[in-house]
Structure formats: C-alpha cells, structure tokens
Amino acid sequence: MSAFRAGDAGSNPARGTKVIGMEKMEVPSQRAYRLIYPQLVVLVSSINPTTKKPNIMTIAWSTPLSANPPLVGILVAPRRYSHELISSAREFVINIPTVEIIEKAIKCGRVSGRIHDKFSEFGLTAKPAKIVKAPIIEECVAHLECKLVNQLTTGDHTLFIGEVVAACANEGTFDGQFMDIERVRNFYQVGGDTYASLSKELLKPGL
C-alpha cells in the first residue's frame, strides 16, 4: 500500500484528485466534533419499565470510560424517547450491528419508539438479556448490558454512564482480546448518510 502523507503534492489515487495540503483551514467550533469521525454505529436497546415494551435507537456517540470498574458512555439527546426510557428504567444495552443489517440499523435512527415498534417493523428480534430487563438485539454480534450509574448534561446531549454488568459476543467474533474485524464487519458513520466499514487490510505501523 502506498503511503499518502499530509503535504504530498499531486493526487491521492484513493481519493480522486483531491490533495491534502499543509495549510491549516479553520473549522467552525460547532462542527469540530466531525473531525473525530468516523464513529462506530451501535444500537442501544432499552425498555419502558411500565409497559415492558422495548425500544431501539441508533447511536454514533458512544465511548469506553473505564476498564475497572467497567464503564461505558452513550450520548443521547433529551428529546429522544430512549432518553426517557433509560432515565426511568436506569439500564440499557449497547448492541453491535454489522453491515448485514445496516439498513435496519439506520432506520432505527430515523423514527421514534414513541410511535413505532422498531423490533417488529424492522424485523429485529428482542432476546432476553442475562442481567438487565432491556433485551439484547439478536441480529447484532455483541452486547454490553449496562446499569445506569450516573448521568451528566453535556450541552445538548446527556451522557449516560453505564456499568457493564454482563457482556457477550457471537462465537468466533471475539478472541478474548479484540473483535475479529476480518469476520465482523461492523460499520462507522463517516458523516450524514455516509458509512464505512474497515477494509480487510490491517494496518500495523512498525513502531
């Protein structure tokens, strides 16, 4: 693979004729978060503690927060139905979808569970989780069951901090250390309606 460095003159074969220059262009601060894209797309399942009806939302803003104790975070805008469910049930599941269900996964991010049953409408299966009451989504390849331990308003989103109380992955997808990304084609939001999955080629810079 030929390296393409910032400052190279000429064209980048992988990106048409666009050239990466040395000059720094200003980016409006409200768009700056897009400089840390692409972001892994996950599906967060939750449950209405009164009706027991489950819901799904698509999330591009999720992050590990601590290995010990095992904490993860998701950022949810207050107007989402899932926000209401996670605040009241105090639990959620992070499910990892793959390109095989990319259309269903994106549809879960386009309509609200206030008026749609996304499991039945998009043909996704709610399966009992091990510890929490929110279900796992069977068609996903990995699942992190979380109990809400804290929440923080971060401007226009809420950071829900979940302690991972159980986790599992489909056989053959996780070797005990890392996901096998040659087998598991999870995907990333590049921006807007554009997504990417990692190519088969693994980069191992000789550092």
x/- track of binding to ligand FMN for residues 88-127 (CB under 6 A): ------------------x--xxxxx--------------
In the structure encoding, which two tokens stand for residue 117, read together? 């049953």
From candidates 19, 40, 60, 179, binder to ligand FMN by CB under 6 A: 60
Q: Is 80 in the site for ligand FMN (CB under 6 A)?
A: yes
- Segment contacting ligand FMN by CB under 6 A, of 11-19, 80-88, 163-171, 172-180: 80-88
Q: Is 55 in the site for ligand FMN (CB under 6 A)?
A: yes
x/- track of binding to ligand FMN for residues 19-48 (CB under 6 A): ----------------------x-------
What sections of the chain are H helices per DSSP?
A: 81-89, 102-107, 118-121
Give the integer Cα–Cα distance in Å for 23 and 46. 46
Give the integer Cα–Cα distance in Å for 40 and 63. 9
The size of the interface with ligand FMN (CB under 6 A), counted in residues, is 20
Amino acid symbol at 63:
T
Q: Is 119 helix (H, G, I), strand (E, B) or coil?
A: helix
Q: Which of residues 156-175 bind ligand FMN (CB under 6 A)?
A: none
Q: Is 57 in the site for ligand FMN (CB under 6 A)?
A: yes
Give the integer Cα–Cα distance in Å for 112 and 118. 8
To the nearest 10°, report the CA torsion of 145, 151, 154, 155: 110
What Å distances lie between residue 100 and 37, 108, 186, CA to CA?
22, 15, 9
Q: Is 76 in the site for ligand FMN (CB under 6 A)?
A: yes
Positions touching ligand FMN (CB under 6 A) are 41, 55, 57-61, 75-77, 80-82, 106, 109-113, 189
